[in-house]
Amino acid sequence: MDPVLNPYSPGAGRKPAALVGRDQPRTDWQVALDRVEIGRSAQPFVLYGLRGVGKTVLLSDFRRAAADRGWIVAQVEAGAGKSLRQALGETLHAPLADLARPSAGRRLASALKTALSFKASYDPAGTWNFGVDVAGAPGGGADTGVLETDLRKLVHDLAAAADEEGVGLAILIDEAQDLDPAELVALCAIAHAAAQDDWHVLFAVAGLPSLPRVLTEAKSYAERFNYHLVKELRGSVAADALTKPAADDGVAWDGAAVGLVVEESAGYPYFLQQFGQDTWNAASGSRITYDDARVGVATGRGALDTGFFRVRWDRATRAEQKYLRAMAEDGDDGSSSGEIANRLGRRATSFGPIRANLIAKGLVYAPEHGVIAFTVPGMAAFINRQPTS
């Protein structure tokens, strides 16, 4: 069928044509937006799960829901070459510039002045011009150099300005497990303060399965945040991710074809999109058959091996790849650090640096003490397909 009309979209954070199986967190987010708008508090949202399950897609859906209400919105990715201070500062400039006007209320003028001082905290030579004279406004003071102090002042003043505008402030952070310890502590402390005093702000963070542990280690009260485990899609929900986008274009799937793709993808949204895309391209006419799906799965598997999996495998050193091979013997369910050491004929403590490097690269995580697991579903099978050198 025409690839130009292909409704499937594999890729990091790309919105699928049918966002299915996420009704509960999406509903909870809408309720939280409603609560903030009437001056009630809402706990920060924490989305966590393996790579490829759609955390970034869901986080971006949260962003759009807030933006559609006219909120001040900032979405950033941690560990992308910028500090949290710089990433948030730069992302907030555009929505604040859209709000700035000579008739700005007292709280908005104050927030603009505070944002200017926050900019100076990480870029003394840089200048912003909102086109509004804020010299006589209160505010500022977000340039002490202490992250928690400066970010608290910024969030407080922006939330007050949002309240004055009849909306709220939404701060969303992806790959949150990559925040450094000081950033995690500051984020948790500010979110806690905001909930205590009913600031017009809502936080949402997303990350790997280790994120809940990372947050609660930063601040114990983070255990009371609103946690959502984002998992693979199952049964009819996974089928809907395939059939609904096609039906919108007048194309039907045979039941056997759907069953094959759902089984081979294990319900992981990224894989469903990849196999769906390649099956569509293999099909002709207005019906997708089992044979089309067989071709699509084979083609999609090759695309995943050369892209999704390969880029991660190639990030590992030879020594790290040897460690990953030892893990792959246990599949995707996780491995005992001690058993891996036994397989490699060394003491477990000698693998500490390798294990730490693999965690830092986002290839593995520690679901519990003494256990290590892949962050990517299907990684063990991919490794087992690779020739040994």
What is the value of pTM for the model shown? 0.92
For 88-120, what is each residue's pLDDT tens digit?
A: 999 999 999 999 888 888 999 999 999 999 999
For 47-101, what is each residue's pLDDT tens digit?
A: 999 999 999 999 999 999 999 999 999 999 998 789 999 999 999 999 999 998 8
More confident residue, 296 or 135: 296
Q: What is the pLDDT of residue 47?
A: 98
* Shared-domain flag, residues 195 and 259: no
Question: Does the residue 353 lie in any domain?
Answer: yes
Task: Count the neighbouring beta carbons within 10 Å of the beta carbon of residue 348.
Answer: 16
Which residues face 207 on adjacent strands?
48
* Shared-domain flag, residues 91 and 145: yes
For 220-275, what is each residue's pLDDT tens digit?
A: 989 999 999 999 999 999 999 999 999 999 999 999 999 999 999 999 999 999 99
Q: Which residues contact 111 (CB under 8 A, 6 or more apart)?
A: 96, 139, 157, 158, 160, 161
Q: What is the pLDDT of residue 14?
A: 86
Q: How far apart are CA 358 and CA 373, in angstroms?
A: 10
Report the CATH number at residue 335: 1.10.10.10
Q: How confident is the model at residue 132 (pLDDT cuts 50, 70, 90)?
A: confident
Residue 126 has pLDDT above 80, yes or no: no
* Shared-domain flag, residues 135 and 42: yes
Question: Does the residue 13 lie in any domain?
Answer: no
Residue 124 has pLDDT above 90, yes or no: no
Domain's final residue, options 261, 290, 311: 311
Mean pLDDT of 318-322: 96
* Shared-domain flag, residues 161 and 246: no
* Shared-domain flag, residues 34 and 155: yes
- Which residue in the block uniquely carries the two structure tokens 């590992």? 316
Residue 389 has pLDDT above 80, yes or no: no
For 196-216, what is each residue's pLDDT tens digit?
A: 999 999 999 999 999 999 999
Q: What is the pLDDT of residue 11?
A: 82
Domain's final residue, options 270, 289, 311: 311
* Shared-domain flag, residues 191 and 203: yes
Question: Does the residue 266 lie in any domain?
Answer: yes
* Shared-domain flag, residues 107 and 208: yes
* Shared-domain flag, residues 158 and 216: yes
* Shared-domain flag, residues 53 and 180: yes
Question: Does the residue 14 lie in any domain?
Answer: no
* Shared-domain flag, residues 120 and 170: yes
Q: Which residues contact 60 (CB under 8 A, 6 or more apart)?
A: 13, 15, 75
Residue 352 has pLDDT above 80, yes or no: yes
Residue 374 has pLDDT above 90, yes or no: yes
Question: Does the residue 367 lie in any domain?
Answer: yes
* Shared-domain flag, residues 193 and 51: yes
Percent of the chain residues topping a pLDDT of 90: 86
Q: How confident is the model at residue 128 (pLDDT cuts 50, 70, 90)?
A: confident
* Shared-domain flag, residues 375 and 276: no
Which structural domain range is residue 335 located in? Answer: 315-385
Q: Domains in the chain: how many in total?
A: 3
Question: Does the residue 166 lie in any domain?
Answer: yes
Question: Does the residue 376 lie in any domain?
Answer: yes
Report the CATH number at residue 58: 3.40.50.300
For 21-50, what is each residue's pLDDT tens digit?
A: 999 999 999 999 999 999 998 999 999 999
Mean pLDDT of 318-347: 94
Q: What is the pLDDT of residue 141?
A: 93
Question: Does the residue 16 lie in any domain?
Answer: no
Domain's final residue, options 229, 259, 289: 229
